[in-house]
Amino acid sequence: MTDVHRAEPGLDDALTYLRDHADEHLQQLDEFLRIPSVSADPARDADVRRAADWIVQQLTAMGVERAQTHETSAHPIVTGEWLGAGPLAPTVLVYCHYDVQPPDPLDEWIRPPFEPRYEDDRVYARGSGDDKGQLFMHLKAVEAWLRGSGKLPVNLRFFFEGDEEVGSEPVEAFIAAHPELLRADLCVVSDNDMYDDEGTPAITYGLRGIAYFEVRVTGPFQDIHSGQYGGGVANPANVLVKLLASLQDDDGRLTIPGFYDRVRELTDAERAAYAELPFDEEAYRKALGVPKLSDGERGYTLAERLSARPTFDISGLWGGYSGEGAKTIIPAFAAAKFSTRLVPDQDYREIERLVVEHLTRVAPPEVRVAVKVIHGGAPAITPLDHPGVQLAARALEGAFGKAPLFHRSGGSIPVVAALDAGIGVKTVLVGFASPNGNFHAPNEWMPLANYRGGLDALARLWAEMGSVSPDRLRGSA
Amino acid sequence: MTDVHRAEPGLDDALTYLRDHADEHLQQLDEFLRIPSVSADPARDADVRRAADWIVQQLTAMGVERAQTHETSAHPIVTGEWLGAGPLAPTVLVYCHYDVQPPDPLDEWIRPPFEPRYEDDRVYARGSGDDKGQLFMHLKAVEAWLRGSGKLPVNLRFFFEGDEEVGSEPVEAFIAAHPELLRADLCVVSDNDMYDDEGTPAITYGLRGIAYFEVRVTGPFQDIHSGQYGGGVANPANVLVKLLASLQDDDGRLTIPGFYDRVRELTDAERAAYAELPFDEEAYRKALGVPKLSDGERGYTLAERLSARPTFDISGLWGGYSGEGAKTIIPAFAAAKFSTRLVPDQDYREIERLVVEHLTRVAPPEVRVAVKVIHGGAPAITPLDHPGVQLAARALEGAFGKAPLFHRSGGSIPVVAALDAGIGVKTVLVGFASPNGNFHAPNEWMPLANYRGGLDALARLWAEMGSVSPDRLRGSA
């Protein structure tokens, strides 16, 4: 690592370009956020594709080469590259996703999710923080270098996917099929948030994995009268709640045999670092609107439980009658979607197997229980002393005037583990969304201060990374 | 009770009338079943009213006097009377309901629920069995006497309600406000089924009550990201399944303190009678399409559990995401509708209080738990040796050529208990639907053999009841 900050003559030009084109860029952001690229909804397939095409047009217009979409088993993947910095400069892969979560419940949005609203220096829209807003910032930071300064200090490759919100199913196969389009000394991912809403930047050094399931309990061949049949027939909804309730014990731990076998316990150093993170539990509780925070898994602090411990959460329940008044039935079926968040070194494929086996084993013989694996993703950890992490920290401090905090994230970004496993590329996560930004919820928002600071930080990031050799950035020199 | 069957000269004329007008009556039945009188759906209020008006027109046209609708707190009640048999003849109150259950799930109906389908000597339509088909049979049996013979052997009053499927809320107040419209020596209710599909008639001597609830668990003020927040916030769906699962123990008994305190245990005689009812458990299981019948509450036979023991059944579950793919959220709320069927001498008001108190007491402090009482109804029992029961048995045997079986029913008909408590009128239940007729389910149907036999039986019923004095029919002579 170089101790002396080498001045990068083009940086000022890039930053000037960003200031001069701020209004035009906001208009383009608006255009991008209006595309309802909901990957979970087959009715939105054409819109997801439209978002991919929009990115290709942007990349091509700013001078990125071979910008293109690739067909996959699901939605298109976008790649492109600018290799003008030459073989002596490092190559960095930029990953973001252009798909978004479903916007429902729609009636809780103050304005429709795909009609951005600007208020209090925030932009409200589905995808504003997760992750189209951050993808857009990467586009504009690169454009600022290429148009403002004429060239970038690093070689860049781009990898934008449209299936992150539904489990990134095509990513693994794509990495295996097209390593040449993705090869890099480091990957930079922006799909996470700053530490707070006071401009404290953060670098994420770990991610949780996930295993997501759907379970369906089927009983009588159709809904039947609860007076006529009640007492004689196992009620699928009664069985479902018993099954789900049995998955977690009174200490907040999952009861599935073998579930904790590979969990890497927090080190003393990590627990000390967690203890130092500022965390206002009362403010957190109030922002969520809950009467009391969960005790969760016994033996761990709230901050630890939020990112370094596995979880069990039901995301959806349905079955029977939910309309007005009373319908006195035993429903034909009842179903749930649920997931467990995983931590290093849990293997999501093993967890999928354990969960399916367990539910199949405990299912009572009076009903049929079908468990479907919806998607899985591996957890990940990146060493704190990696050069890429340190250079990114400097870029963030330069843009925001504060050193970043380092922590793990509770969420899952399947591509991070897939890139490591597939082509040996480590990832640094620098994100600019708000930790209170309503990801996956109604009225998602992004602070425009973070947007402006993030553009600045990303422009600086390429100057920082261009100041070291490829081997150094890779962490091998 | 008279031992000699007094010939009723008008009966043959009534039966002839029914045969001569069979086609015309079926057309009218079709017209009635096409009115979507779904009481649970406010969007159907006008249709419910249309069904009430249709009945008034029918009654008026056949010569019933003072046929009218009455406004209530919910849907209209229809009354009318024919008192031409004079004060020496008994007076019988006829009760049925003209509202129907919601038809969803709509996509499981072979034909739309309000377009009757005729196939295999059955009529398929919502309300064909429960209860518009049976109400219609009462209309036509009365019409057959009045038009075919010129008069009825008994005085009749009619009491048809439009809220039975949503708990009969207005019935109690109506009985209190208008006892003069309902006063009778006996009530005949037709809202139940024959014993099998081989033409074995049945008389029901007991009914279960019900207490129906909605519980809603609310957590964060909106859906939140399960990665970002999982482990820190109590998940309302996790809490709901724990709460619901805790309401029933491994022996199939409810865990609510005090719940069983007033349950009248089955007598040895009743258990012996239950043991003699023909019941093909394997055919029953196959018809339901379940892999195994429920063990249910330990210590009771299937037939006993189906009508003489309390139950706990979840009728609906909802909350969070149930669409395509994966949405990784902690839902803002999760909710359920559930009921317990009650048996003599449980008091539904007491049970409502016990359930609400229990859920409130066990609700964890991390969420808000709201329990709403949707409706309640008392259980009922009528003595087997009551003259009205014996006369009804004779009418059924005359029409179907087989003596009826006697048993309790698992369902609830709130009006039965309300008439007893309100104006001291006992009820005899004679029903003609199929026990496999998909009450409250898609593709509800009524056997047309039961329809024809039921018309015959009801015509005979008035001859039988006209053969005794009012005091005798009342059971007091």
Strands A91-97 and A313-320: unpaired
Nearest-Cα distance to chain A for B105, in Å, is: 9
B48 contacts in A (CB within 8 Å)?
A: none
Q: Does B109 touch chain A (CB under 8 A)?
A: no
A322 contacts in B (CB within 8 Å)?
A: 316-318, 335, 337
**Which top CATH class is A210-263+310-377?**
alpha beta
CA distance readout (Å), B55 to A43, A363, B96:
46, 49, 11
Q: Does B239 touch chain A (CB under 8 A)?
A: no
Please judge whether B229 and A374 are an interchain contact, meaning their C-beta atoms are less than 8 angstroms apart.
no
Q: What is the mean pLDDT of residues B14-32?
A: 97
Strands B122-124 and B445-447: antiparallel
Q: Domain coordinates of chain B in residue numbers?
A: 9-207+380-474, 209-263+310-377
ipTM of predicted complex: 0.76
3-state secondary structure at position B18: helix
pLDDT reported for residue B274? 84
Higher pLDDT, B408 or B49: B49
**Which top CATH class is B9-207+380-474?**
alpha beta
CB-based burial label for B70 (10 Å; 0-12, 13-18, 19+): middle
A295, closest residue in chain B (CA to CA): B232
Helices (H), B234-280: 236-245, 268-276
Please judge whether B290 and A212 are an interchain contact, meaning their C-beta atoms are less than 8 angstroms apart.
no
CA distance readout (Å), A109 to A116, A242, A285, B390:
11, 34, 22, 64
Cβ-defined contacts of B20-27 (< 8 Å, 24+): B21/B140, B21/B144, B22/B452, B25/B140, B25/B455
Partners of A207 in beta bridges:
A380, A409
pLDDT reported for residue B467? 94
Residue A269 confidence (pLDDT) above 80:
no
The per-residue pLDDT for range A272-312, each reduced to its tens digit, is 878 878 889 999 999 999 999 998 899 999 999 999 999 99
Q: Six-digit token pair at A27?
A: 């208009």
B228 contacts in A (CB within 8 Å)?
A: 306, 409-411, 435, 439
Q: What is the mean pLDDT of residues B310-315?
A: 98
Q: Six-digit token pair at A7?
A: 């001045």
B105 contacts in A (CB within 8 Å)?
A: 223
Please name the amino acid found at residue B184. Answer: A
3-state secondary structure at position B301: coil
Which residues of chain B from 163 to 192 reach within 8 Å of chain A, CB to CB? 165-167
Contact indicator for B205, B408 with CB cutoff of 8 Å: yes
Please judge whether A328 and B212 are an interchain contact, meaning their C-beta atoms are less than 8 angstroms apart.
yes
The per-residue pLDDT for range A103-144, each reduced to its tens digit, is 999 999 999 999 999 999 999 999 999 999 999 999 999 999
Which residues of chain B from 430 to 469 reach within 8 Å of chain A, CB to CB? 435, 438-443
Partners of A342 in beta bridges:
A209
Q: What is the mean pLDDT of residues A444-462?
A: 97
Contact partners, residue B61, CB within 8 Å, separation at least 6: none
To probe the interface with A, which of B166, B243, B290 has the most A CB atoms within 10 Å?
B290
Cα(B358)–Cα(B374) distance, integer angstroms: 17
Burial A442-463 (b: 16+ CB within 10 A, else e): bbbbbbbbbbbbbbbbbbbbbb
Contact indicator for A332, B288 with CB cutoff of 8 Å: no
To probe the interface with A, which of B163, B228, B286, B309 has the most A CB atoms within 10 Å?
B228
Q: Six-digit token pair at A101?
A: 């979560």
Please judge whether B311 and A226 are an interchain contact, meaning their C-beta atoms are less than 8 angstroms apart.
yes
Please judge whether A238 and B314 are an interchain contact, meaning their C-beta atoms are less than 8 angstroms apart.
yes
Q: Which helix (H) or strand (E) holds A388?
A: helix A387-400
Cα(A149)–Cα(A306) distance, integer angstroms: 42
Contact indicator for A433, A446 with CB cutoff of 8 Å: yes
Please judge whether A284 and B232 are an interchain contact, meaning their C-beta atoms are less than 8 angstroms apart.
yes
pLDDT reported for residue B411? 86
For B413, other C-beta atoms within 10 Å of its C-beta total 27
A208 contacts in B (CB within 8 Å)?
A: 227
Q: What is the mean pLDDT of residues A368-384?
A: 89
What percent of chain A has a predicted confidence (pLDDT) above 70? 98
Q: What is the DSSP letter of A266?
A: P
Spell out where B356-426 has E strands: 368-377, 380-381, 405-409
B126 contacts in A (CB within 8 Å)?
A: none
Q: Six-digit token pair at A34?
A: 């209006």
Which residues of chain B from 273 to 302 reach within 8 Å of chain A, CB to CB? 284, 288-297, 302
Contact indicator for A335, A249 with CB cutoff of 8 Å: no
Residue A3 confidence (pLDDT) above 60:
no
The pTM (predicted TM-score) of the whole model is 0.76
Please judge whether A323 and B104 are an interchain contact, meaning their C-beta atoms are less than 8 angstroms apart.
yes
Please judge whether B290 and A41 are an interchain contact, meaning their C-beta atoms are less than 8 angstroms apart.
no
Residue B184 confidence (pLDDT) above 50:
yes
Please judge whether A296 and B231 are an interchain contact, meaning their C-beta atoms are less than 8 angstroms apart.
yes
Please judge whether B315 and A309 are an interchain contact, meaning their C-beta atoms are less than 8 angstroms apart.
no
Handedness of CA B127, B317, B225, A42 (dihedral sign): negative
CB-based burial label for A475 (10 Å; 0-12, 13-18, 19+): middle
Residue B4 confidence (pLDDT) above 50:
no
**Confidence band for A477, pLDDT divided at 50, 70 and 90:** low
To probe the interface with A, which of B169, B204, B229 has the most A CB atoms within 10 Å?
B229
The per-residue pLDDT for range B79-137, each reduced to its tens digit, is 999 999 999 999 999 999 999 999 999 999 999 999 999 999 999 999 999 999 999 99
Strands A77-82 and A313-320: unpaired
Please judge whether B327 and A336 are an interchain contact, meaning their C-beta atoms are less than 8 angstroms apart.
no
Residue A259 confidence (pLDDT) above 70:
yes
pLDDT reported for residue A228? 87
Q: Does A255 touch chain B (CB under 8 A)?
A: no
Q: Does A337 touch chain B (CB under 8 A)?
A: yes
**Confidence band for B435, pLDDT divided at 50, 70 and 90:** confident
Residue B406 confidence (pLDDT) above 90:
no
What percent of chain A has a predicted confidence (pLDDT) above 90? 81
Contact indicator for A222, A349 with CB cutoff of 8 Å: no
Nearest-Cα distance to chain A for B184, in Å, is: 28
Cα(A444)–Cα(A442) distance, integer angstroms: 6
Largest CA distance in chain A: 82
Q: Which helix (H) or strand (E) holds B320?
A: strand B313-320
pLDDT reported for residue A412? 78
Query: Please, how many CA atoms are within 13 Å of residue B235, restricted to the half-sphere of its CB?
Result: 33
Please judge whether A39 and B325 are an interchain contact, meaning their C-beta atoms are less than 8 angstroms apart.
yes
Please name the amino acid found at residue B17. Answer: Y
A376, closest residue in chain B (CA to CA): B326
To probe the interface with A, which of B106, B168, B233 has the most A CB atoms within 10 Å?
B233
B165 contacts in A (CB within 8 Å)?
A: 326-328
Please judge whether A231 and B321 are an interchain contact, meaning their C-beta atoms are less than 8 angstroms apart.
no
Residue B206 confidence (pLDDT) above 80:
yes
B39 contacts in A (CB within 8 Å)?
A: 325
Cα Rg for chain B, rounded, in angstroms?
24
Partners of A186 in beta bridges:
A92
B288, closest residue in chain A (CA to CA): A220
CATH 3.30.70.360 assigned to domain B209-263+310-377? The reply is yes
Nearest-Cα distance to chain A for B200, in Å, is: 18
Q: Rounding to the nearest 10 degrees, give the CA dihedral for residues A319, B305, A359, A410.
A: 50
The per-residue pLDDT for range B333-369, each reduced to its tens digit, is 999 999 999 998 999 999 999 999 999 999 999 999 9
Q: Does B101 touch chain A (CB under 8 A)?
A: yes
Nearest-Cα distance to chain A for B49, in Å, is: 18
Contact indicator for B296, A221 with CB cutoff of 8 Å: no
Cα(B166)–Cα(B41) distance, integer angstroms: 10
Residue A318 confidence (pLDDT) above 70:
yes
**Which top CATH class is A9-207+379-474?**
alpha beta
**Confidence band for A465, pLDDT divided at 50, 70 and 90:** very high
Nearest-Cα distance to chain B for A276, in Å, is: 18
Cα(B336)–Cα(A241) distance, integer angstroms: 11
Nearest-Cα distance to chain B for A340, in Å, is: 9
**Confidence band for A4, pLDDT divided at 50, 70 and 90:** very low
Q: Rounding to the nearest 10 degrees, give the CA dihedral for residues B222, B226, B232, B234.
A: 60
Looking at chain B, the number of H-run helices and the number of E-run strands are 16, 18
